């Protein structure tokens, strides 16, 4: 699994020379900063990250459901932009639209249908819990406290488009009701995908997790991109880096580990924010809030949805461009049901332990 993740995080082959020819960077012309100046620059980048990525008070984060904003705008004719890729699908976004379209990669057609069903259910259960938490009263406990509890957002699901040769959607057991089976959709929309993705394949539409602000992206590069000013300017200018959502790795430190030797670019797509780096600009209470949200999300998956939350991802991203980022949970194709049995509990625990390093780990001195 680690191998796949590395490829996703670091595999983006950014041609730094092409996107920013040597000598073209305004930063390069300046004298190198003194040690004090470097420290000031570092501090100001960390301040910017703290401001752009976190609420001052985590419980003030808005808890509304963005339904009114979320309309099915399938009439747009602007081109799809490739914004992500995993093992199961390739993801596209459309300018001015709050949606993403995920096309199944060969062999993963059923996985995509399954994901649609799991995400649809997960979204509705999470919104129900969110509403219950926000309005709770008279339980003889601290209602204020319960109303302040936040849980991650789940991207709402919309249409599932089948290729024209598929069986009628009514016969499908795994795909929920919002299913289209039209050649017409592919005729009007197929040409909007990049050339190698215009053939009809199962494709699902869901709410877009918008990138963090450009100020945050710039500060991430300035704070963490290795190399010189040319490399940083190039990383900031690269179009792929405008699609920046941030993976929250509370279970791992970056430490001194280096990227693999094929690594040429600095990718902000699925930027891995390790605990030691997050601590440079986030307050402990803000990190604890993220950890608590992950814990509540797992509790809802295990006990309300009765599934193992296997291989889900947790990222910071925005509901609308320009807003303070929120924590999201997504990527449900490997989620499976669990039994109320010892076997089911083992499955749930293993799924948590095997996942990427999102969840905090006990300090080493406490042992396994």
Ligand X SMILES: Nc1ncnc2c1ncn2[C@@H]1O[C@H](COP(=O)(O)OP(=O)(O)O)[C@@H](O)[C@H]1O
User: Residues interacting with ligand X, by CB under 6 A?
Assistant: 83-89, 91, 100, 102, 155, 206-209, 245, 269-270, 313, 330-331, 333
Nearer to ligand X, 138 or 196 (CB): 196
Binding mask 275-314 for Mg ion (x = CB under 5 A): ----------------------------------------
CB of 27 to ligand X, least distance (A): 28
CB of 356 to Mg ion, least distance (A): 9
Rg value, the chain, Cα: 22
Residue whose CB is nearest to Mg ion in the complex, by number: 86
CA 192 to chain centroid, in Å, comes to 24
Joined together, the tokens standing for residue 166 give: 């598929």
Cα-Cα-Cα-Cα dihedral of 246, 248, 249, 253, to 10°?
A: 70
Nearer to Mg ion, 289 or 331 (CB): 331
Q: Which of 97, 69, 68, 93 is nearest to 81 (CA)?
A: 93
Residue 58 near which of Mg ion, ligand X, none (CB within 5-8 Å, type-dependent): none
- The whole-angstrom separation of Cα 243 and Cα 248 is 16
> Which region among 192-200, 218-226, 268-276, 324-332 touches Mg ion (by CB under 5 A)?
324-332
* Residue with token string 């914004």: 83
- The whole-angstrom separation of Cα 201 and Cα 49 is 40
70-99: which residues touch Mg ion (CB under 5 A)? 86
CA 356 to chain centroid, in Å, comes to 13
Beta-carbon contacts of residue 274 (< 8 Å; ≥ 6 apart): 249, 252, 253, 254, 255, 357
Nearer to Mg ion, 115 or 331 (CB): 331
- The whole-angstrom separation of Cα 325 and Cα 269 is 15
Residue 52 near which of Mg ion, ligand X, none (CB within 5-8 Å, type-dependent): none
Coil vs helix vs strand at 366 = helix
The residues that bridge with 92 in the sheet, in sequence order, are 82, 101
CB of 140 to Mg ion, least distance (A): 42
Coil vs helix vs strand at 226 = coil
Nearer to Mg ion, 12 or 48 (CB): 12
Coil vs helix vs strand at 220 = helix
Q: Burial-class residue 152 by CB neighbours within 10 Å (0-12, 13-18, 19+).
A: buried
Residue 328, H or E segment: strand 326-330
Member of 52, 243, 289, 331 binding Mg ion (CB under 5 A): 331
Residue 280 near which of Mg ion, ligand X, none (CB within 5-8 Å, type-dependent): none
Nearer to ligand X, 281 or 330 (CB): 330
Nearer to ligand X, 85 or 252 (CB): 85
Nearer to Mg ion, 58 or 89 (CB): 89
CB of 208 to ligand X, least distance (A): 5
CB of 287 to ligand X, least distance (A): 22
CB of 149 to ligand X, least distance (A): 24
CB of 247 to ligand X, least distance (A): 8
Per CB under 5 A, residues contacting Mg ion are: 86, 331
């Amino acid at each position: 699994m680690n191998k796949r993740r590395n490829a996703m995080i670091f595999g983006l082959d950014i041609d730094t020379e092409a996107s920013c020819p040597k000598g073209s960077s305004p930063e390069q012309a300046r004298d190198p900063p003194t040690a004090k100046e470097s420290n000031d620059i570092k501090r100001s980048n960390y301040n910017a990250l703290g401001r752009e990525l976190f609420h001052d008070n985590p419980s003030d984060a808005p808890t509304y459901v963005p339904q009114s904003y979320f309309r099915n705008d399938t009439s747009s004719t602007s081109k799809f932009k490739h914004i992500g890729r995993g093992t199961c699908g390739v993801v596209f976004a459309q300018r001015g639209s709050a949606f993403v379209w995920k096309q199944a990669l060969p062999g993963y057609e059923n996985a995509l249908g399954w994901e649609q069903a799991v995400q649809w259910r997960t979204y509705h259960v999470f919104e129900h819990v969110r509403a219950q938490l926000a309005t709770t009263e008279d339980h003889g406990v601290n209602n204020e406290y319960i109303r302040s509890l936040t849980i991650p957002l789940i991207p709402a699901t919309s249409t599932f488009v089948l290729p024209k040769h598929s069986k009628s959607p009514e016969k499908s057991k795994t795909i929920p009701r919002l299913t289209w089976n039209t050649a017409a959709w592919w005729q009007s929309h197929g040409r909007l995908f990049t050339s190698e993705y215009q053939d009809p394949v199962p494709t699902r539409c869901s709410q877009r997790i918008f990138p963090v602000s450009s100020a945050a992206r710039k500060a991430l590069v300035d704070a963490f991109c290795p190399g010189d000013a040319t490399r940083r300017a190039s990383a900031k200018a690269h179009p792929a880096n405008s699609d920046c959502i941030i993976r929250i790795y509370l279970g791992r430190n970056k430490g001194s580990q280096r990227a693999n030797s094929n690594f040429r670019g600095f990718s902000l797509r699925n930027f891995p924010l390790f605990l030691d780096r997050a601590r440079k600009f986030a307050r402990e209470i803000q990190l604890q809030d993220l950890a608590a949200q992950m814990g509540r999300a797992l509790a809802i998956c295990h006990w309300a949805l009765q599934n193992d939350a296997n291989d889900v991802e947790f990222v910071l991203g925005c509901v609308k461009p320009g807003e303070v980022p929120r924590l999201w949970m997504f990527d449900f194709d490997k989620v499976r049901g669990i039994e109320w049995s010892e076997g089911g509990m083992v499955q749930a625990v293993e799924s948590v332990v095997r996942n990427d390093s999102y969840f905090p780990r006990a300090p080493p001195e406490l042992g396994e």
